[in-house]
């Protein structure tokens, strides 16, 4: 497996272009299954998750080409049964279920199960599909879903940790080709859901209310091809902003959508960071001093769980005590033990991490446990004195396009040490 070697203590300075949003691209790729016509998707990040989803679509019969940030997908003739070994390896592949049911009225997908950041059940997806008239047979780790027809209805998608993002996407896609009107109450409001809705509308779908807790979908007979540009990745933008502040540098985030990052921007300003909009860019730098802040992760537009690990790193070097509470996933503090290897003072009490700032971090060897934890360890290595080595960095390649190249462009002393090219592929899902 590849690993990163970071010689820390260098302020990041310069300009970085924010890539397209991974969490928007994957459902949009799945949505291309809803039509026989070609779909062109632009500003697509070159990520292992994107390429893996492409392989899943190809196993269903679609044609997929990826060149220079542009994906072209044509699902002229497809089947509801893909390569099970591929599908079971990627938790995000559950989002193919909605479009397959919408177009073919049949789908067979693997249950996603648990992962490093906790169990992520699909009970709300299945509840919604049943309401649309889908028959579900769950056996052998797979869901076999069939329907004579999909009938519009009213759905409620509220769950223990708030609305389900992929569930909202899945049911919205299925409902585009259902008979009648479907109303999704307690829908996820994330920008990635809005981006998917915009793509579906450009395909001829009738959708209103995306970005609010109540989405209305009026079914149509068919959808056509479309050309769409994916939104910038708000999580990547937040990660680079925090890295700039943690290293006492100044970074211009080209293409960052500040309107998608208000909760993060608010907390960073509270922590002593200076963030300034400049046209289509966001400039991030540290102010005169860092301050501790309390953070609780929440569904959008609250503070995102995908930035919890990164801001924890910043709090390890902010004088005073911060409390970071995780309300979305139950096992998302594994990075805390790795940060302690650099000298961080973090105590876990139930769903909260109590972080006492230390004067500085010092380099050490660390092991990445999941995608966003990997990003946090990178920030910690950049901010620490001495050398830091991070193992199992395949996680970060799932969600950050060319992070090593981008960081070197900002002045980081950052190396990717290549592994055996014949090593087995690692996949996962966020």
Structure tokens, 204: 């001829």
Do the Cβ atoms of 242 and 314 come closer than 8 Å? yes
Q: Give the whole-angstrom CA distance, residue 82 versus residue 80.
A: 6
Neighbours of 67 (CB within 10 A): 8
Q: Give the whole-angstrom CA distance, residue 90 versus residue 25.
A: 14
For residue 270, the SS3 value is helix
For residue 400, the SS3 value is coil
What per-residue string of b and e applies to 332-365 under the rule 16 or more CB within 10 Å gives b?
bbbbbebbebbbbebeeeebbbebbbbeebebbe
Sole residue written with tokens 């105590």: 347
Q: Give the whole-angstrom CA distance, residue 169 versus residue 96.
A: 10
Q: Judge whether 39 counts as a catalytic residue.
A: no
What per-residue string of b and e applies to 234-246 under the rule 16 or more CB within 10 Å gives b?
bbbbbbbbbbbbb
Instruction: Give me the count of residues in the chain.
Output: 430
Catalytic residue among 39, 95, 115, 189: 115
Q: Which of 123, 85, 107 is nearest to 174 (CA)?
A: 107
Q: What are the helix (H) ranges across 217-307?
A: 234-246, 262-270
> Could you tell me the CA-to-CA distances from 370 to 187, 204, 391, 402, 414 in Å, in that order?
26, 37, 11, 17, 20
Catalytic residues: 115
């Amino acid at each position: 497996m590849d690993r990163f070697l970071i010689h820390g203590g260098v302020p990041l300075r310069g300009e970085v272009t924010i890539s397209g949003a991974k969490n928007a691209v994957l459902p949009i790729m799945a949505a291309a299954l809803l039509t026989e016509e070609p779909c062109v998707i632009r500003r697509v990040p070159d990520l292992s998750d994107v390429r893996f989803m492409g392989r899943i679509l190809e196993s269903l019969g679609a044609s997929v080409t990826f060149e220079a940030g542009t994906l072209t997908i044509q699902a002229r003739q497809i089947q509801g049964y893909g390569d099970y070994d591929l599908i079971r390896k990627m938790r995000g592949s559950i989002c193919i279920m909605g479009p397959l049911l919408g177009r073919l009225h049949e789908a067979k997908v693997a249950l996603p199960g648990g992962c490093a950041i906790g169990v992520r059940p699909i009970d709300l997806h299945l509840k919604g599909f049943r309401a649309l008239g889908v028959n579900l047979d769950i056996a052998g780790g797979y869901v076999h879903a069939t329907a004579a027809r999909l009938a519009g209805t009213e759905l409620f998608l509220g769950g223990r940790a708030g609305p389900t993002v992929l569930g909202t996407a899945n049911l919205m896609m299925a409902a585009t080709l259902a008979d009648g009107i479907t109303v999704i109450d307690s829908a996820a409001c994330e920008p990635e859901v809005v981006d998917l809705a915009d793509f579906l509308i450009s395909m001829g779908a009738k959708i209103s209310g995306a970005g609010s807790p109540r989405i209305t979908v009026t079914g149509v007979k068919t959808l056509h091809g479309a050309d769409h540009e994916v939104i910038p990745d708000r999580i990547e933008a937040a990660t680079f902003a925090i890295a700039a502040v943690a290293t006492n540098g100044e970074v211009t985030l080209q293409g960052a959508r500040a309107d998608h990052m208000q909760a993060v921007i608010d907390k960073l300003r509270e922590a002593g960071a200076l963030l300034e909009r400049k046209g289509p860019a966001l400039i991030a730098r540290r102010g005169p001093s860092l301050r501790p802040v309390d953070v609780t992760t929440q569904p959008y537009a609250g503070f995102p769980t995908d930035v919890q690990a990164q801001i924890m790193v910043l709090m390890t070097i902010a004088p005073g005590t911060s409390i970071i509470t995780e309300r979305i996933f139950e096992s998302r503090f594994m990075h805390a033990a790795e940060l302690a290897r650099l000298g961080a003072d973090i105590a876990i009490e139930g769903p909260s991490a109590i972080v006492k700032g230390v004067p500085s971090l010092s380099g050490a060897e660390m092991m990445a446990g999941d995608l966003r934890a990997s990003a946090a360890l990178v920030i910690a290595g950049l901010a620490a004195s001495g050398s830091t080595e991070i193992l199992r960095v395949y996680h970060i390649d799932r969600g950050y396009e060319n992070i090593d190249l981008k960081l070197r462009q900002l002045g980081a002393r950052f190396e990717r040490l290549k592994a055996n090219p014949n090593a087995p592929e690692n996949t996962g899902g966020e």
